[in-house]
Amino acid sequence: MNYPYLKNPEMDIETVVIETPRCTIEPFRIEWIDFTDLTGAFCGANEHLYISPYLPTVEQEYEYMHSVIENRKSGKAFECFIFDKVTWTLMGSVGISDLDTEEPNLGLWIRKEYHRKWYGTEVYAAMLDWARKETNFSFFKHAVDPENTASIKLAEKFHGKLQEVMTERGHLKYYIYLK
């Protein structure tokens, strides 16, 4: 597959591994995941901030994961799991979606038990560093539920510029510039 958004379009993004001091970030793989655990953790962390009008079932999460993998293979997304380096526990996900648009979106989800321990900042910084080094993008959109103060602070920490126009879902829209 040729990925036009990469500086090296021949890079095999299926094999990308991004390391932080405490985490390993790797592309989604179905065989690595207990979907009951993933769905419960995701819904628990997002019951008040979920980006859609309903919380997913295990089956919907499984279907979603398959669609994300297909989007990665077709060059529309680069979505990854975040694992604890020591225990190999699933800590969350991070990724760049909407790669085929003018506003690629950088998103992050951290399991509730890892909140307030700076994992979000660590992983977000690693993804931005990877993107600066490996992609042709000049910015990412960071869409945030107005009630999610942690995500707002994260965008601001990385010098995100709040845009006047909100997303179609009523979320705040920040641009995080890479240059």
**Number of domains composing the chain:** 1
**pLDDT over threshold 60, residue 46:** no
Within-domain flag for 158: no
Q: Which long-range contacts (CB under 8 A, 24 or more apart) does 167-171 make?
A: 167/143, 169/51, 169/143, 170/146, 171/51, 171/143, 171/144, 171/145, 171/146
Within-domain flag for 60: yes
Within-domain flag for 161: no
Within-domain flag for 129: yes
Within-domain flag for 133: yes
Looking up residue 33, the CATH number of its domain turns out to be 3.40.630.30
Expressed as residue numbers, the domain containing 115 is: 16-137
Q: What is the pLDDT of residue 161?
A: 96
Within-domain flag for 92: yes
Burial 140-173 (b: 16+ CB within 10 A, else e): bbbbbbeebeebbebbeebebeeeeeebeeebbb
Q: pLDDT tens for residues 88-111?
A: 888 888 999 998 889 999 999 888
**pLDDT over threshold 50, residue 162:** yes
Q: What is the pLDDT of residue 50?
A: 45
Within-domain flag for 164: no
